[in-house]
Amino acid sequence: MDTRTVLIFLGPPGSGKGTQASRLSAALGIPAVSTGEILRHECESGSELGRALSAALSSGQLVGDNLMNQIVGRRIQAADCSAGYILDGYPRTVTQARCLDQLLAKLGMPGPTVIDFSIPARDVVARLERRLQCTHCGRIFSVETGWHGQLVCEVDGAALVKRADDHAVAIRERLLAYKQNARELVRFYRPRGYHRIRASRTPDEVSRDIFSALRLHWAAPVTRRHAAFATRAAC
């Protein structure tokens, strides 16, 4: 039996895919491939492609199919993906999904199992308005409503900042773009290994359902902090 695993996380931005991808990555020993992180690294490179990507991401636009297929295709052929991987943010269109099917067949990888994160738009907006990112390690943190002042990462002490694509206009654009493609993707994947998860609950409740759908044992992690996962910088 093929023990390799290819997982696809479907869901709008802010639905918690990154948190769950990190947990499953640790449990299965396979990398979580976030297209958002891949694109942001390219933006930071200062290349011509990076500048074009930066302009698109800042305005909430999606990157074209051909470019995304190339970027993701290159990443999942890396050595650390030989036993499988978790795709967070790809595919976003049926065109990309068909391209992924072709690449998986070419590489001799099994077909994907899909986890669909279902969450109301109002919950997504509320989450993204509280979201900050570490400027060093890229980890995402959620802060209390009404926060002010500089916060720092609990892991490396670097400053936390609001992402350029987490402002109101970009959030609306991203939700609209996701909704336009989501129904077709669900129809495409539903006849296969497809699982819909209610993502508006706590991370542990969502993890429990995902692990159950994949027939894995779930053990809640030890919580080191109570609340916002971030520390306030010294004045």
**Hunting for tokens 């065109």 — which residue is that?**
95
Among the listed residues 95, 106, 169, 162, the one whose alpha carbon sits nearest the alpha carbon of residue 135: 162
Give the β-pairing of 140-142 and 84-88: unpaired
Spans of the chain, pLDDT less than 50: 222-235
- Where residue 223 falls (left for φ over 0; alpha for ψ -120 to 50; beta otherwise) is beta
CB 144 within 8 A of CB 226: no
**Sign of dihedral through CA atoms 97, 101, 106, 110?**
positive
Active site residues: 17, 92, 131, 163, 174
- The pLDDT value given to residue 153: 86
**SS3 of 217, please?**
coil
- The pLDDT value given to residue 154: 79
CB 111 within 8 A of CB 98: no
| CATH of the domain spanning 5-120+167-220 | 3.40.50.300
What is the Cα Rg of the chain in Å?
18
CB 21 within 8 A of CB 10: no
CB 37 within 8 A of CB 139: no
The β-bridge partners of 8 are 87, 114
End-to-end CA distance of the chain: 57
- The pLDDT value given to residue 224: 41
- The pLDDT value given to residue 144: 65
Give the β-pairing of 151-152 and 231-232: antiparallel
